[in-house]
Amino acid sequence: MLQKIEEVKKQFALDVDAVVTPKDLEELRLKYMGKKGLITGLMPMLKDVPNEQKREMGMKINGVKTEIENALASLTESLEAKRVAEQINNAEKIDITLPVETGVGSLHPRTIIQKEVEDVFISMGFVVDMGNEVETEFNNFDAVNVPATHPARDVQDTFWLNNGQVLKTHTSAGQNRILSKYKGTCKVVFPGRCFRNEALDAGHENTFFQMEGVIVDENVSVANLIYFMKEMLSKVFKKEVEVRLRPGFFPFTEPSFEMDVKCPFCGGSGCSTCGGSGWIELCPCGMIHPNVLKMAGIDPEKYSGCAFGLGFDRLVMIKSGLNDIRALNSGNLKILKPFKLNI
């Protein structure tokens, strides 16, 4: 029995040297480890071995079996490594200096503008606080001094939900939450998506993006408002800009203004972008109404504040020359992919 085991072991050592291909390896495996293989055939022979030698012979058979299994595994790894090396050596060579169209995507133009504006405000000491898209009726209307009789609450303007909440119609809906959070001194901007039931055309969308900002402290004045807005616009347009204030009306500010920027494209002489007027209406703003401060738990006798709004969509259109706001939500890659913002 011992002689037979040694013969199988020596025969395997000779057969291993003849293995060149995966087919050779599989034939070798079957020869020794298959159902009718040489190792498999050793086990029945134990019945003829004296009882006192069966344990020793069984251990020797298992030892040879383990050696062969390890050798087969090693051969498998060697042949696979050889196959991979040959595949690499025979592969088509690629000229890595040639330009390749990777198809890598890019940020949406609106997102680019939002990040630019946020970075500007952060550099001036503002905190960015994201707003909600679904708001309570109180935050969207009451807290910003819009009474129940105001036409903005009409179903024709506002998307109402079954639970009585609304899709926020303006970023001002975040004012009460922000002011209540800081309870006094703060400089915060809060961008977000807004919704109104608009008739769609080149200048109107039912989904649009704005940024609201508030500054609250002791002795805040219109001068602070003008400074921060002018500084922001100058950095966004990457040139010094001139601004002007015109009287306006917003329930949550008193006094209220419309801030215009002298057209950065024509310098105020009049062009298609500014409609020939030399000015572009850009930022509604004003001093925060005392009622709004009170509803946020802030004493209007001690603190004052200013608020301003900025439409990202309008800013994107101004900077890019895009003449249809609907393109921004269209998902049309022919329009958005080559989008370049430059001033």
Residue 334 CA to residue 329 CA, distance in Å, equals 13
The pLDDT assigned to 310 comes to 86
Whether the Cβ atoms of residue 232 and residue 323 lie closer than 8 Å to each other = no
Give the residue ranges of DSSP H helices in the chain: 2-16, 22-33, 38-42, 51-90, 109-123, 137-140, 175-182, 222-237, 290-295, 312-320, 333-336
The third-level CATH classification (topology) of the domain covering 109-336 is BirA Bifunctional Protein; domain 2 (3.30.930)
Which residues are bridge partners to 253 per DSSP?
288
The pLDDT assigned to 200 comes to 82
Q: Which CA distances in Å does 81 have to 15, 70, 191, 243?
A: 21, 17, 56, 71
The pLDDT assigned to 273 comes to 67
Collapsed DSSP state (helix, strand, coil) of residue 311: strand
Terminal Cα distance for the chain, rounded? 92
The pLDDT assigned to 26 comes to 86
Residue 51 CA to residue 73 CA, distance in Å, equals 34
The pLDDT assigned to 150 comes to 84
Residue 40: CB atoms within 10 A of its CB come to 14
The pLDDT assigned to 342 comes to 47
Which residues are bridge partners to 243 per DSSP?
261
Nearest partner of 142 among 132, 131, 152, judged by Cα: 152
Nearest partner of 207 among 317, 322, 321, 313, judged by Cα: 313
Contacts of 112 (CB under 8 A, 6+ apart): 341
Task: Report phi then psi at 265, rounded to 5.
Answer: -90, -40
For CATH 3.30.930.10, list the domain ranges present in the chain. Answer: 109-336
The pLDDT assigned to 92 comes to 67
The pLDDT assigned to 147 comes to 87
Mean pLDDT per 10-residue segment, the chain (343 residues): 75 82 84 80 75 77 83 87 82 72 75 89 92 92 90 84 93 93 91 89 84 93 90 84 88 91 81 79 90 94 92 79 80 71 47
Kindly tell me the burial class for residue 70, based on how many C-beta atoms sit within 10 Å of its own C-beta (0-12, 13-18, 19 or more). Answer: exposed
DSSP 239: S
The pLDDT assigned to 52 comes to 77
Q: Which CA distances in Å does 22 have to 12, 75, 88?
A: 17, 9, 18
Structure tokens that stand for 249 in this block: 């009306």
